[in-house]
Structure 1
Amino acid sequence: MAETDIPDIVYTKVDEAPELASASLLPVIRTFAAAAGVTVGTRDISLAGRIIAAFPEKLTDAQKQSDDLAWLGNLVKQPEANVIKLPNISASVPQLVAAVKELQSQGYDLPDYPEEPSTDEEKDARARYDAIKGSAVNPVLREGNSDRRAAIAVKKFAQANPHRMGKWTADSKTRVATMGHDDFFSNEKSTRLSGEATVRIEHEAADGTVTVLKEGIKYPSGTVVDATFMSAKSLDAFLAKEIEKTKEEGILWSLHMKATMMKVSDPIIFGHAVKAWLAPVFDKYGDKLAEAGVNPNSGLGDLLARVKAMPEVMEAIEATRAENPPMYMVNSDKGITNLHVPSDVIIDASMPALIRAGGKGWGPDGNEADCVCVIPDSCYAPVYDETIEYFKETGALDPATAGAVQNIGLMAQKAEEYGSHPTTFEIPADGIVRMVTDTGVELHEHKVEKGDIWRSSSARRAPIEDWVKLAIDRQKAEGCEAIFWLDPNRAHDAELIEFVKPILEAEGVADKFEIMAPREATRKTLESIREGKTSIAITGNVLRDYLTDLFPILELGTSAKMLSIVKLMNGGGLFETGAGGSAPKHVQQLMEENHLRWDSLGEFCALGESLKFLADAKGNEKARVLGKAVDAATQGVLDNDKSPSRKVGQPDNRDSHYWFARYWAEALAAQDEDADLKAHFEPIAKALVDHEEAIVSELAAAQGSPADLGGYYHTDAEKTALVMRPSTTLNTIID
């Protein structure tokens, strides 16, 4: 990769609301950056873009796209990398299928997603699609560990303008239900490799037949390698018990999973929940459901669509629903339940929202009620359980006085569970699963039964050591409480502790840190922030993901406004822009009412950090001036309440971009560090101020009617630009 081929900043093209916002914001960024000699390029990591790139032989030259994810995967290993990464779709199977259908309708000759591939061609298509599913992007780009926290301006604004919190009471019936045995936590085994190894995973059936599930897995010396499984029988028994128990309690039943990221294990668990919910229906009509192509892993919505012409099955479903406890709803008005689509209820967004609401979820009657929160695996359930119990005891957190939780997350080089998709399997028959090196050394062995979910994950020495040192740097900068969220009773965590302690001692900072199991760390952290203190949570990959939604949603009302810096291990920088969990609802509103309530504050924060990083990396002092001015503009958007509103007719995302551009230009015109930039932006700032009335009027006039984007997953660029840049006056000034 020649350095001349690389823009100074690469801005990712993604999906849904963040991508629509880019159509409005990116022209502003490019215009302002050009004044400092900074180039801003784009690379397409959207779901549609990745699908198109996977089948070049089937497409016309005009339709073909390069594999931008692979290009970026190479870039993040280079010291000159400077990437602003927006949240992208981590596709569930229903999302992937919908995207393929949309592209086919647009003339792309793509194969259908084969549920049960039989021919070589179908198997090839399935393999390509499987590489796109779930968390396919993040493990490729995250060649560094995560430093995530609220920007100072964002935190101050949240305290001055606290968001609404639901009321917690001691008699709340809301609780977390988890297996506690026969799950991934209890069955986990872990070891650290003393040398490099090539490993295979094999299954030996009861009759002695050995099947290689995966081979050629290469690990460098010092890698922590884990293996574990969840018992399908125990899972089914647990789900059945919780459905009955919830019925007795008279509250809502809900399942909280991560089917988009844990793209093998969690969809299977989700399917078990669908079957448990409709157990009498599957018992009586299992053959008919199979004939109709029902796959419970795809959710209740797909099931209902396939059997709607079978009156006896529909009657049985309604009878079962009537007997079951009421279910937590995604959309009560439209009858969309917790089990309709596996990607609709994602634990790191759904659990914080429920906790913020005082433990309440929406029921099928359109009213809020207490909930049972079913989280089968007990690796992370204790975090949510302890949070709920804490708030029952103490009442809700006050955002006006709450402190802050920062996070240092281990995620580099596919560390931990998010890198485990290729090594997760649904066991085909009773027997034994082993991990064996090419020299015949057995690393792990589990006795398993048909249907069990077995998985392996790993974390390499270099990322672990980098993570600990990053934590030391962050604690030194903050001088506050710092906790490694590691449980010595969990096999994987015990191995990590063996890395952590010697490094802390060698650096002379062991007294600055605590090591606590997640449940205990949760309570300690909540107690600290209730007192207005800052706490640094130093966690593995999955907890990083969960906690950087949980605490920001409690503190700020959203996780989309977090500053997320990935210090790439080879010297580059990756700047992530926050969560995208509510993006689909935003797109729906735009298409119906031409109002986009997506808040680009995360993009603003990432842009400022990216420009300052560029200044350091390439000695471009004009970029530093731009970056400082971005911070001033971000503060201006917050202080003057120019963030998007929720309802049509009110200012939206496009308005916030006007105000951001104006405050940015005004800051550049007012600074005295760079005379050229000052002179360049003085007339731009004046024009943006003088034409405020015209710009605001033109933006307001665009709202109220349906918006045509030319697609959902694969929008038309020209149509999208017309929708997202409706102010001719603003466009003239910017362009």
Structure 2
Amino acid sequence: MSDETIIYTHTDEAPLLATYSFLPIISAYAAKAGVQVETRDISLAGRIIAQFPERLSAEQRIDDHLAELGELATKPEANIIKLPNISASVPQLKAAIKELQEQGYDLPAYPENPQTDEEREVRAKYDRVKGSAVNPVLREGNSDRRAPASVKNYAKAHPHRMGAWTPESKTNVATMGEHDFRSNELSVVVESDDTLRIEHVAADGATTVLKDDVKVLAGEVVDGTYMDVAALRRFLTEQIARAKADDVLFSVHLKATMMKVSDPIIFGHAVQAFFPTLFEQYGEQLAAAGISPNDGLGGLLSAVADLPDGDAIKAAVEQGLAEGPRMAMVDSDKGITNLHVPSDVIIDASMPAMIRTSGHMWGPDGEEDDTLAVIPDSSYAGVYQTVIDDCRANGAFDPATMGSVPNVGLMAKAAEEYGSHDKTFEVPAAGTVRVVDSAGNVLMEHEVQPGDIWRACQTKDEPIRDWVKLAVTRARATGAPAVFWLDETRAHDANLIAKVKTYLADHDTDGLTIEIMAPAEATAYSLERIRRGEDTISVTGNVLRDYNTDLFPILELGTSAKMLSVVPLMNGGGLFETGAGGSAPKHVQQLVKENYLRWDSLGEFFALAASFEHLATTRGNARAQVLADTLDRATGTFLNEDKSPTRRIGGIDNRGSHFYLALYWAQELSTQTDDAELAAAFGPLAEKLAEQEQTIVDELLAVQGSPADIGGYFRPDPAKADAVMRPSKTLNDALASF
């Protein structure tokens, strides 16, 4: 790999399909500036395949590209464009394994309850793949995420539809407030480099090491907490009764992808709480058959067909649905409920969508209605309740006038990766879970009961310093207030507040407004400014970074996929993320059904421009800067001409939007005056694309309406996917001759 190389990641679902169409354009244009574009496969299927080279043929093997990119991210030459990837729940992981097996890959089944050393080794490999396995590896820097001016201006000029709110809305958030992760949290700052261990001490004194060799650095913040599962079950039962009494839809909102260990367990408790009779009568039989409520109602219903009491179990499910409150639906036409699949209702996407739609979700009758949104852990539930209360009092937000809430997020070196790693445990027996240093000192401990969910996380000091620096930099660059969303009454946040105050003193903050507020208070402050059309930078930890960079963009822009997401890597490289992929599955389904891909690649356009600019700045490549500047202008034209994919078949889709971006970009390059040789090179292409515009559009539209065969969902066949995503021979020939 040369110093002037951009790594474009090969990921999953709609972003992957879009790559087949867009990457040939990128590669052709970049080559004229001496920039090489390479791909690395960090898709879910690719990550699975990389775990089992010994079982596969030479042609089937894939190197561990994620580990390779993780190493690259620590080097100054890193320039990585990272598209959205699947953060796999267990059902998604199982589905991907099944597809790969059907494609001829000799992969072992996912061991639900490993009993042998071999099964435990297989399970450990799969556990490295599931959940948010990619982001913590690549994110060697903190996050700077914001709406580009062109997108914000377009949203103001062409505001998206917002559902009306009334003071009578019965939509609310329900959260525990006690006996949960937030209220049980303990936090320490370690004084020197050390190696910690996490252990469980049973009531009889037997000690089991849950995790050893936990390396920490001086100044690192280490947290431990647990969810009291008995209290969780009482809470869930109460909220089910509350939704029934209030005659609102019942929904559960978790993060079963990022929180890949803790939240599927919580989800499973919600399934059991909603169907108490089912599990009282058939729980043992389901468990004996390896059917886990953690996988959701959908997995349960498909698996019980082979059980002797399968029909009776299905009848018990129907009885539970009839007796309980009306459940929010993922797809009411297909009967897919909020509790069908843990990864179907992800809090950071589902809550903003609900707020945008009058506080409504879809009910079993196919109609919208008020909803009780159950968010068990109270750490950040108040953020959503504050927004709901504001909308109830003041009505829906107006995208034509509202301000913006960009984000500076703490995430470098796996900061605050709560629940998504190997430091989360379902407690096996009553006793104490404690964190012990190498000298045997107990740093923190919790009394726990069987089934409680205990978890720890780490936040290193260097990323915190860098996070504060980035917050001051963005406040200085924009003039907007920067608010650290930290709660002094929470253990972890109290330690961060002390560090923030210390490190702010290292910077010139004269003339800047920098505040520290608890999340609900910071939300109210930001909403008040939003309604006045003013911007406020939210400076948050990792989880709130995830939540806020969906919440505010979905309200402001209608989507979070149009955000510019820059990660200045701490060792000088750049990571450029292209937006969220929450709607990607539905887009793939539509493509397969009617050869129409609605995915909007605007996030890829912004990331690419930032990547070229970084290359110009760090490598002195003047032509890369020309590519960046002209791409920015082309994207502005693209927005003004409204060439994003249309909402339905018959208009241009993702492939058409790529053609128009290529056209406008070539035109900008051919008329720019900074590089005459480059202008001359792109002149003929710009002329050819303009002359053949109607032919190309006709070729792209002609394929719509019939099923498309891409050869696989998790691992499409490259030849088939390329043929589907590049159906215009005229465009393909123009790029090839260029």
TM-score range, shorter chain: over 0.9
Secondary structure at the counterpart of residue 523 of structure 1: helix
CA contact (8 A) 1:139 1:419 kept: no
CA contact (8 A) 1:293 1:306 kept: no
Q: Please say if 1:516 is aligned against 2:513.
A: no
TM-score by length of 2: 0.98
Instruction: Name the residue aligned to 2:105.
Output: 108
Q: How far 1:553 sits from its partner (Å)?
A: 0.2
Check if 1:313 corresponds to 2:310. no
Q: Which amino acid aligns with 1:551?
A: F
Contact 2:469 2:507 survives alignment (8 Å): no
Aligned to 1:602: 603
Shift of 1:650: 1.5
Task: Please state if 1:165 is matched with 2:162.
Answer: yes
Residues 167 and 357 of structure 1 are in contact (CA less than 8 Å); yes or no, is this contact kept in structure 2? yes
How far 1:317 moved relative to its partner? 1.8
The aligned residue for residue 179 of structure 1 is: 176
Cα offset, 1:149, TM superposition: 0.1
Q: Report 1:395-414 matches (<5 A).
A: 395-414=395-414
Match in the other structure for 2:681? 680
Q: 1:116 to 1:58 in 2, by over 3 A?
A: same
The match for 1:149 among 146, 149, 154 is: 146
The equivalent residue for 2:271 is: 274
Q: Secondary structure at the match of 1:401?
A: coil
CA displacement at 1:562 relative to structure 2:
0.2
Write out per-residue CA displacement over residues 434-493 of structure 1, whole angstroms, 9 at most, x where no aligned residue: 000111121110000000000000100000000000000000001111100000001000
Q: Aligned partners of 1:508, 1:709: CA distance in 2, in Å? A: 55
User: Is the CA contact 2:173–2:374 (under 8 Å) kept in the aligned structure 1?
Assistant: yes
Q: Secondary structure at the match of 1:422?
A: coil
Q: Contact 2:159–2:400 (CA<8 Å) still a contact in 1?
A: yes
Aligned to 2:727: 726
Q: Does the CA contact (< 8 Å) of 2:21 and 2:725 recur in 1? A: yes
Determine if contact 2:111/2:122 at 8 Å carries over to the other structure.
yes
Contact 1:135 1:418 in 2 (8 A): no
- Unaligned runs of at least 5 residues, structure 1: none
Aligned residue for 1:578, secondary structure, equals coil
Name the aligned partner's letter for residue 191 of structure 1: V
Question: Residue 446 of structure 2 aligns with which residue?
Answer: 446
Specify the code of the residue in structure 2 equivalent to 1:654: R
Alpha-carbon shift at residue 512 of structure 1 (Å): 2.1
One-letter amino acid matched to 2:45? A
Q: Is the 8 A contact 2:4 2:36 kept in 1?
A: yes
Report the alpha carbon displacement of residue 506 of structure 1 after superposing the two structures with TM. 3.7
Structural mapping, 1:69-218, within 5 Å: 69-218=66-215
What per-residue deviation string (whole Å, max 9, x for no partner) do you get for residues 365-399 of structure 1?
00000000000000010100111011101101000
- The alignment partner of 2:173 has SS state of strand
SS across alignment from 2:651: coil
SS in 2 for 1:425: strand
The 1-side partners of 2:7 and 2:15 are apart by 15
* Amino acid paired to 1:236: R
How far, CA to CA, are the matches of 1:205 and 1:291 in structure 2? Answer: 26
Q: Which residue of 2 aligns with 1:582?
A: 583
Deviation sequence 1:122-148 (CA, Å, 0-9, x none): 111100000001010000000000000
Q: For the Cα contact (< 8 Å) 1:420–1:456, is it kept in 2?
A: no
Structure 1 residue 199: deviation in Å? 0.3
Residue 534 (structure 1) aligns with: 535
Offset of 1:224 from its aligned partner? 0.3
Tell me how far apart the structure 1 counterparts of residues 606 and 222 of structure 2 sit (CA, whole Å). 36
The separation in 1 between residues aligned to 2:507 and 2:626, in whole angstroms, is 35
Instruction: Confirm or deny: 8 A CA contact 1:483 1:537 kept in the other structure.
Output: yes
Specify the alignment match of 2:41 in structure 1: 44
User: Structure 2 CA distance, aligned partners of 1:312 and 1:29?
Assistant: 56
**Alpha-carbon distance, 1:165 to partner:** 0.2
CA–CA separation in structure 1 for the residues paired with 2:712 and 2:418: 30
Q: In structure 1, how many angstroms separate the alpha carbons of the residues matched to 2:588 and 2:674? A: 41
- Contact 2:262-2:419 at 8 Å conserved across structures: no
Is contact 2:261–2:420 with CA below 8 Å preserved after alignment?
Answer: no
CA shift in 2, pair 1:419/1:432, >3 Å: closer
Q: Contact (CA 8 Å) 2:49, 2:61: kept in 1 or not?
A: yes
Rounded Cα–Cα distance in structure 1 between residues aligned with 2:620 and 2:83: 26
Does the residue aligned with 1:11 lie in a helix, a strand or coil?
Answer: strand
In structure 2, give the amino acid aligned to 1:371.
Answer: T
- Describe the superposition over 1:572-629 as per-residue Cα deviations: whole angstroms up to 9, x where unpaired: 0000000000000000000000000000000000000000110011110000000101
The alpha carbon displacement at 1:418 in A equals: 4.5
The Cα of 1:539 is off from its aligned counterpart by: 0.2
Match of 2:546 in 1: 545
Tell me, yes or no, if structure 1 residue 716 matches structure 2 residue 717: yes
The alignment status of 1:55 with 2:56, answered yes or no, reads: no
Residue of structure 2 equivalent to 1:572? 573
Counterpart residue identity of residue 345, structure 1: V
CA distance in 2, matches of 1:90, 1:319: 33
Return the offset for 1:120.
Answer: 1.6
Distance in 2 (CA, whole Å) between partners of 1:23 and 1:400 is 35
Read off the aligned partner of 1:570 and give its amino acid letter: N
Equivalent position of 2:28 in the other structure: 31
Shift in CA distance, 436/211, structure 1 to aligned 2, threshold 3 Å? same
**In the TM superposition, what is the alpha-carbon distance from 1:419 to its structure 2 partner?**
7.3
Question: 1:367-406 alignment to 2 at 5 Å?
Answer: 367-406=367-406
Secondary structure in 2 matching 1:405: coil
Task: Determine if the alignment matches structure 1 residue 417 to structure 2 residue 414.
Answer: no
CA distance in 1, matches of 2:100, 2:442: 46
Shift of 1:560: 0.2
Structure 1 stretches of 4+ moved >6 Å: none
Q: Does 1:291 align with 2:293?
A: no
In structure 2, stretches of 5+ residues that fail to align are: none
- Give 1:330 deviation, angstroms: 0.3
Specify whether residues 418 and 19 from structure 1 end up closer, same or farther in structure 2 by C-alpha distance, changes over 3 A only: farther
- Using the alignment, how far apart are the partners of 1:324 and 1:672 within structure 2? 68
Contact 1:637 1:643 in 2 (8 A): yes
Q: Structure 1 CA distance, aligned partners of 2:413 and 2:287?
A: 40
Instruction: From the superposition, tell whether residues 522 and 220 of structure 1 become closer, same or farther in structure 2 (CA, over 3 Å).
Output: same
Worse overlay, 18-27 or 476-485: 476-485
| Partner residue in 1 for 2:64 | 67
Give per-residue Cα distances to partners, 1:82-113, cap 9 Å, x unaligned.
00000000000000000011000011000000
SS at match of 1:312: helix
CA contact (8 A) 1:142 1:411 kept: yes
TM-score, length-scaled by structure 1:
0.99
In 1, Cα distance between the equivalents of 2:419 and 2:368?
A: 37
SS of 2:405's equivalent in the other structure is: strand
SS in structure 1 of the partner of residue 536 of structure 2: strand
SS at match of 1:629: helix
Provide the residue aligned with 2:434 in structure 1: 434
Check whether the contact 1:91–1:134 (CA below 8 A) recurs between aligned residues: yes
CA contact (8 A) 2:260 2:420 kept: no
Distance 2:106 2:642 in 1: 47
Partner of 1:253: 250
AA aligned opposite 1:301: G
Which residue pairs with 1:498 in the alignment? 498
The amino acid of 2:596's aligned partner reads H
Cα pair 1:53 1:67 within 8 Å, conserved: yes
Tell me what 2:12 maps to.
15
The corresponding residue for 2:461 is 461
CA distance in 2, matches of 1:314, 1:500: 54
Asked if 2 retains the 8 angstrom alpha-carbon contact of 1:419 and 1:458, the reply is no
Structure-2 separation of matches of 1:319 and 1:42:
51
SS class of match (1:20): helix
Residue of structure 2 equivalent to 1:335: 335
Give the fraction of aligned pairs with identical amino acids, expressed as a percent.
Answer: 60
